[in-house]
Copies of this chain bind each other. A is one copy, B any other.
Amino acid sequence: MKISEGVEWAAHACALLAAVPEGGALSAGAIAAFNDLPKAYMAKHLQALAKAGVVVSVRGAQGGYRLARPPAEISLWDVRRAIEGPGPDFHCANIRLKGPCVAPKPSSGPCAIAHAFWEAERAYQAALGSMTIADVVVQAAREQDAEGLSRIAAWLRAAL
């Protein structure tokens, strides 16, 4: 099992969008260029983020994307779910109901194996849900010196 690489793309895109001023919007091309990624595919992921309500899109000239909520209210779980989809990773194929030894009366409550996996996914979701885009931005800014921050600000001003 591997997590789609698009999840990382979307996370970095949200981190960048957290830096756009109120009322502004960053185009898909600009977001892709900032991270050196192909514009067309990045646009696909941004559409998924928009459909999931993580970002809002602004159509037309000078349009683009901005965050739908403050960065502190967007978790990495929201991003992951927007790209990978909502359903559980583990799917119970009801193997226990197949084979020569299956009980004639179904009586099928929740299956123990599936229950354990779904419980683990809830722990995963809780851990990811406690890390927000705001946290990511803070930690990313900590790795930049003042000159790097000003260069990013200048790039952002030019791309707006």
- Give the chain B neighbours of A33 by CB distance below 8 A: 99-100
CA distance A124 to B139 in the complex (A): 24
Q: A1-B1, A143-B107, A143-B109 are in contact. Are A128 and B116 (CB under 8 A)?
A: yes
- Give the chain B neighbours of A9 by CB distance below 8 A: 95
Q: Are B128 and A112 in contact (CB under 8 A)?
A: no
- Give the chain B neighbours of A128 by CB distance below 8 A: 116-117, 120
Contact with B along A100-125 (1 / 0, CB 8 A): 11010001110011001101111111
Closest to A153 in B: B101
Segment among A44-52, A55-63, A65-73, A85-93 that sits at the interface with chain B? A85-93
Contact with B along A136-148 (1 / 0, CB 8 A): 1001100111001
Closest to A5 in B: B93
CA distance A148 to B131 in the complex (A): 47
Number of interface residues of A (CB under 8 A): 59
Q: A3-B90, A33-B100, A117-B128 are in contact. Are A136 and B151 (CB under 8 A)?
A: no
A and B contact pairs by CB, cutoff 8 A, 28 listed: A1-B3, A3-B90, A3-B91, A5-B91, A5-B93, A7-B90, A8-B90, A8-B93, A8-B95, A12-B95, A15-B113, A35-B95, A35-B99, A36-B98, A36-B99, A37-B95, A76-B120, A101-B155, A103-B143, A107-B143, A112-B135, A116-B128, A116-B131, A120-B124, A123-B123, A123-B127, A124-B124, A124-B127
